[in-house]
Amino acid sequence: MSETDERGDRGRLDETPEVDAATTAPEPTVPDPTAVLGRVPTEADLRRELAAAARTLGLASSIESELIEICDAIAAVEIEPVDLDAPRRRVAAASGEEDRLKERVAALRGGVQARRETDAETDEALGDLESAAAELSAAQSERIAAEQALQRARERAADARDARERRLELRDRLRNRRRDARRELAREVYPAFRDALSVVPGADSADAGAEPTAYEGPPLAASLAAVRIADLDEPVALGTEAVRWIVNHGGAAPESVIDAPAVRPYRRTEP
């Protein structure tokens, strides 16, 4: 086996097959508000609920354009699937054939030398040696080509890893900036949320505090208030917990509590 391939073999422990989907689902700029508020319990935190409600009211954060740019950058990242196994097998096969032919050429050369020392006829032996030498030259060319192909594949694999890391960095940035956008939107609708708490059974606007992080009331009541201030296009699915909460705290009609059509009860599906 050649020195180049041996170095490649030593580096294999640091390499993993680069397999990535040819296409990836595009990142939505912002989550669908209905996916957050379309059912209660929402299984979302208060800031996410309020941001979703704000978006149903036509509000947008000051960094909306930046979110779009990040999503576009993520979509533009292309990751080429790279197969390193096939070029490695090609190098191994070519190196093995080269080694075999080197041994054959050495043996034939020794045979020619022995025949010359005994003044024996060498034409046939020389012909065999020339044929084997030509095969060896071709095998060496194939081994070099195989090593070059493997090197190119490794370079593409490195590029794919860089692209994957870039995409992960962008997705981390998108998550962080979405969090900033939710924080901004939640603060913007918080006064309306505080007012809505006053009509939600079992809630108290005094629990709201000055900002979302200060809220100390029941999470379920907060979800109902967030839905109440939202402008949703579809009925809200109320779970048994939400219906029971409303019934146990005054028995008002659920539709009047959330100020929207309701479908009830829905049961949480197990993952």
| pLDDT on residue 16 | 41
What is the pLDDT averaged over residues 238-243? 93
Query: Residue 13 pLDDT > 50, yes or no?
Result: no
Q: pLDDT value at position 3?
A: 44
Say which residues have a Cβ less than 8 Å from residue 180's Cβ, sequence separation at least 6: 61, 63
Rounded distance between C-alpha atoms, residue 203 and residue 197, angstroms: 6
Summarised one tens digit per residue, pLDDT across range 171-180 is: 999 999 999 9
Compute the average pLDDT of residues 180-193.
Answer: 95
Which band of pLDDT confidence, cut at 50, 70 and 90, is reported for residue 82? very high
**What string of DSSP letters covers 74-139?**
HHH-----B--HHHHHHHHHHHHHHHHHHHHHHHHHHHHHHHHHTT---HHHHHHHHHHHHHHHHH
- The pLDDT value recorded for residue 251 is 75
Is 50 exceeded by the pLDDT of residue 7? no
Region 210-228 average pLDDT: 94
What does the pLDDT read at residue 237? Answer: 94
Beta-carbon count within 10 A of 19 CB: 10
Q: What is the pLDDT of residues 117-130, one digit of tens each?
A: 888 888 898 999 99
Mean pLDDT of 101-126: 91
Asked if 52 contacts 17 with a C-beta cutoff of 8 angstroms, the reply is: no
Which is nearest to 16 in space by CA: 73, 83, 68, 74?
83
> Between the CA of residue 107 and those of 11, 93, 133, 139, what are the distances in Å?
34, 21, 11, 17
Output 151 or 265, whichever has higher pLDDT: 151
pLDDT of residue 25: 52
Q: What is the pLDDT of residue 30?
A: 64
Residue 264 confidence (pLDDT): 72
